[in-house]
C-alpha cells in the first residue's frame, strides 16, 4: 500500500508538472540560456592561437588558473569571450554591499525600496565594467609575453590593437553573462548567476571523472584511492544536504483572543533560523576576491618574469597563494568566516524582526518584547552563525587540503560540491513552489466555477 501511495503521489506530481505551462516555459528558458552560456565558452578571443594556448595552459595545471578555469567552465583554458565569467560582477557586488553598510548615503539608497535597489545595481554594473577592463588588460599583456621565449606566444599579432580588442571582448562577454543571469532570475527558475557558476562546474565534471578513472586504468592511481574519493564526495553531498536543511526554531507565542464562544487557546508558531543563513554566498565571494588579484598577478608575472625584481616578487606571491598552499587556505578561511557573518547581518535584521513581532502582538516566551527580543535574536543568530561558518570552512577547505597533500589531480572539491548541491536544492525548491502555486490556482478556479454554477 505504501508503494501504491508513493506511485499515486508521483503520478500526481507528474500530472501537475504537465499542466503547469508557465513552469515549463521557465524551465525551457533556463535550459536555453545555459546552452547559450556553454556555446559562448567555445568562442575564442580574436587573435589567439588555440593550439599554442592549450600547450601553455598545460604548464600551469594545478595552479590558481586551473582553479579559476573550473569556475568558468573551461572558458579560461580556451580564452573564450567569457573567460572572466561572472566573477567580476560578484566582486563588484561585494564592494557595493560593503560600501552600503559603511556609507550613510548608500545606506539611505538601500532603504528607498525598488528605486534605491536599481541605483545600487547600476553602481554594481559600473564596477563590473571597471574590474573587467583592468583584468582584461592584464590578461592581454600577459598573453603577449606568455611563452614568447620558449614554446611560442599564443597571440598571433601582439600590439595595441590586440589589447584593445581583448579588453572590449572580455568586458562584453562578462556583461552579457551578467544580463543573461538577470534574465534567468526574472524569466526562468532559480538564481541566474548561481546557475551559471554551477553550469560551469558541472561542465567540468565529465572531464574530471574521466581523468580520475584513466589514472586507475593506467595504474598511476590506486583504485582504492579512487573509491575513497568517490565515497568522500558522496558523503560530502549527504552532509551538505543535512546541514542546509538544519535550522533553529524559535517559539513565537501570540496572546489569547476573546471571541463570542469564550477564550480561545493562544496561537503558537515558530521562527526558523537556518544554521547556514548565508547559503553559498561566502565561498563564492571569498574565492572571487582571491581569484581576481591572483589572476592579474599570474598574467603579469608571465609578462615580467626574469626582467626585474618586481617580476620575482609577483612570482613569489602567486606561488605562496597557489590553490592548496597554507597562505591561500588561511585567507580563504578568513574570507568565508567574514562573509558568513556579513551576509547573515544583511539578510536577517534582528531589530526589524523584533519590531514586527511587537507590532503584531507576538513574543518569545520568557523574553520581553522590544529591545530584549532583539538582543536575544542577535545572540541566537550569532551562535548558529558560528556553527554555519565552521561548517562552510570545513566543507570548502578540508577536502582540498587532503587532495593537495595526497597529490591527487582531482579538482571537484568541497567548494564545487557545495555550490552544486546548494544551487540544485534552491532550484528544486523553487520548482516545487511553482507546482504548489499552480495546484492552488486550479483549486481556486474550480471553487469559482462551482460558486457560479450554484447561483
Q: What does the pLDDT read at residue 173?
A: 92
Task: Render pLDDT for 235-279 as a digit per residue (tens, 0 to 9).
Answer: 888 998 999 888 888 888 877 666 556 555 557 788 888 888 888
Q: What does the pLDDT read at residue 180?
A: 93
Strand ranges (DSSP E) for 33-188? none
How many Å apart are CA 174 and CA 128, to the nearest integer?
A: 8
Cell representation of residue 5:
501511495
CB 353 within 8 Å of CB 377: yes
Specify the DSSP class assigned to residue 222.
-
Strand, coil or helix: 413:
coil
How many Å apart are CA 84 and CA 93, to the nearest integer?
A: 15
Q: What does the pLDDT read at residue 327?
A: 81
Alpha helices, H only, 281-325: 281-304, 309-320
Q: What does the pLDDT read at residue 87?
A: 84
Q: What does the pLDDT read at residue 369?
A: 85
- Helix H or strand E encompassing 249: strand 247-253
Closest CA to 401 of 335, 339, 328: 328
Q: What does the pLDDT read at residue 332?
A: 87
Q: What does the pLDDT read at residue 171?
A: 93
Task: Please state whether 262 falls in left (phi above 0), alpha (psi between -120 and 50) or beta.
Answer: left
Q: What does the pLDDT read at residue 264?
A: 58
Q: Are strands 262-263 and 258-259 parallel, antiparallel or unpaired?
A: antiparallel
> Which residues partner with 270 through β-bridges?
251
Q: What does the pLDDT read at residue 223?
A: 81
How many Å apart are CA 320 and CA 74, to the nearest integer?
A: 24
Alpha helices, H only, 146-275: 160-187, 192-218, 223-245
Per-domain residue ranges of the chain: 23-440
Q: What does the pLDDT read at residue 405?
A: 65
Q: How many of the other CB atoms lie within 10 Å of CB of 250? A: 19
Q: Cα–Cα distances in Å, from 97 out to 90, 107, 338, 397?
A: 11, 9, 13, 25
Task: Render pLDDT for 296-327 as a digit per residue (tens, 0 to 9).
Answer: 666 655 554 445 555 566 666 666 666 667 88
- The one-digit pLDDT tens for each residue of the chain (455 residues) are 344 444 444 444 555 666 778 888 889 999 999 999 999 988 888 888 777 777 767 665 555 566 667 777 777 778 888 888 888 898 888 888 888 877 888 878 877 777 888 888 899 999 999 999 988 888 888 777 765 555 566 777 888 898 899 999 999 999 999 999 999 999 988 888 889 988 888 888 887 788 778 877 887 777 888 888 888 888 888 998 999 888 888 888 877 666 556 555 557 788 888 888 888 888 888 877 777 666 666 665 555 444 555 556 666 666 666 666 788 888 889 999 998 998 888 888 888 888 888 888 888 888 888 888 888 989 999 999 999 999 999 888 877 777 666 655 555 677 788 888 888 888 888 888 878 877 766 666 656 655 555 55
Closest CA to 272 of 252, 249, 288: 249
> Which residues partner with 44 through β-bridges?
80
Q: What does the pLDDT read at residue 12?
A: 45
Task: Please state whether 362 falls in left (phi above 0), alpha (psi between -120 and 50) or beta.
Answer: beta
Strand, coil or helix: 59:
coil
Q: What does the pLDDT read at residue 306?
A: 46
Strand, coil or helix: 247:
strand
How many Å apart are CA 253 and CA 271, to the nearest integer?
A: 10
Query: What DSSP assignment string belongs to 251-292?
Result: EEE----EETTEEPPPPEEEEEEETTTTTTHHHHHHHHHHHH
How many Å from the N-terminal Cα to the C-terminal Cα in the chain?
Answer: 41
Task: Render pLDDT for 70-104 as a digit per residue (tens, 0 to 9).
Answer: 777 777 778 888 888 888 898 888 888 888 877 88
Nearby residues of 144 by Cβ (< 8 Å), 6 or more positions away: 153, 155, 158, 162, 163, 303
Cell representation of residue 289:
576576491
Q: What does the pLDDT read at residue 84?
A: 87
Fold adopted by 23-440: Preprotein translocase SecY subunit (1.10.3370)
How many Å apart are CA 392 and CA 336, to the nearest integer?
A: 7
Amino acid at each position: 500500500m505504501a508503494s501504491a501511495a508513493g506511485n499515486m503521489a508521483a503520478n500526481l506530481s507528474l500530472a501537475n508538472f504537465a499542466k503547469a505551462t508557465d513552469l515549463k516555459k521557465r524551465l525551457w528558458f533556463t535550459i536555453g540560456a545555459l546552452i547559450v552560456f556553454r556555446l559562448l565558452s567555445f568562442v575564442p578571443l580574436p587573435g589567439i592561437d588555440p593550439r599554442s594556448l592549450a600547450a601553455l595552459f598545460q604548464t600551469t595545471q594545478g595552479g590558481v588558473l586551473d582553479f579559476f578555469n573550473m569556475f568558468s567552465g573551461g572558458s579560461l583554458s580556451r580564452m573564450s569571450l567569457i573567460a572572466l565569467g561572472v566573477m567580476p560582477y560578484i566582486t563588484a557586488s561585494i564592494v557595493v554591499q560593503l560600501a552600503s553598510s559603511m556609507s550613510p548615503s548608500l545606506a539611505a539608497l538601500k532603504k528607498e525600496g525598488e528605486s534605491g535597489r536599481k541605483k545600487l545595481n547600476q553602481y554594481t554594473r559600473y564596477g563590473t565594467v571597471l574590474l573587467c577592463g583592468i583584468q582584461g588588460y592584464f590578461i592581454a599583456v600577459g598573453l603577449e609575453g606568455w611563452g614568447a621565449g620558449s614554446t611560442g606566444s599564443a597571440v598571433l599579432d601582439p600590439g595595441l590593437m590586440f589589447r584593445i580588442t581583448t579588453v572590449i571582448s572580455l568586458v562584453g562577454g562578462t556583461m552579457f553573462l551578467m544580463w543573461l543571469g538577470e534574465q534567468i532570475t526574472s524569466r526562468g527558475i532559480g538564481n541566474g548567476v548561481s546557475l551559471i557558476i554551477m553550469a560551469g562546474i558541472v561542465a567540468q565534471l565529465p572531464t574530471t571523472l574521466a581523468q580520475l578513472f584513466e589514472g586507475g586504468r593506467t595504474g598511476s592511481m590506486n583504485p582504492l584511492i579512487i573509491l575513497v574519493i568517490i565515497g568522500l564526495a558522496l558523503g560530502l553531498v549527504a552532509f551538505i544536504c543535512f546541514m542546509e536543511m538544519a535550522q533553529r526554531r524559535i517559539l513565537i507565542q501570540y496572546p489569547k483572543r476573546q471571541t463570542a464562544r469564550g477564550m480561545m487557546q493562544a496561537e503558537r508558531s515558530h521562527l526558523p533560523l537556518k544554521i547556514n543563513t548565508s547559503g553559498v554566498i561566502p565561498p563564492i565571494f571569498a574565492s572571487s576576491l582571491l581569484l581576481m588579484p591572483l589572476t592579474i598577478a599570474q598574467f603579469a608575472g608571465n609578462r615580467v618574469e626574469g626582467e626585474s625584481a618586481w617580476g620575482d616578487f609577483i612570482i613569489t606571491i602567486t606561488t605562496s597563494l597557489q590553490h592548496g598552499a597554507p597562505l591561500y587556505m588561511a585567507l580563504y578561511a578568513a574570507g568565508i568566516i567574514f562573509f558568513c557573518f556579513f551576509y547573515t547581518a544583511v539578510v536577517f535584521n534582528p531589530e526589524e524582526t523584533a519590531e514586527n513581532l511587537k507590532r503584531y502582538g507576538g513574543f518569545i516566551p520568557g523574553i520581553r518584547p522590544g529591545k530584549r527580543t532583539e538582543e536575544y535574536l542577535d545572540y541566537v543568530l550569532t551562535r548558529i552563525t558560528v556553527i554555519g561558518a565552521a561548517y562552510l570552512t570545513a566543507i570548502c577547505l578540508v577536502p582540498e587540503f587532503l587532495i593537495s597533500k595526497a597529490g591527487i589531480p582531482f579538482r571537484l572539491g568541497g567548494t564545487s560540491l557545495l555550490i552544486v548541491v546548494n544551487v540544485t536544492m534552491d532550484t528544486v525548491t523553487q520548482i516545487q513552489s511553482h507546482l504548489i502555486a499552480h495546484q492552488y490556482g486550479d483549486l481556486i478556479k474550480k471553487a469559482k466555477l462551482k460558486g457560479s454554477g450554484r447561483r
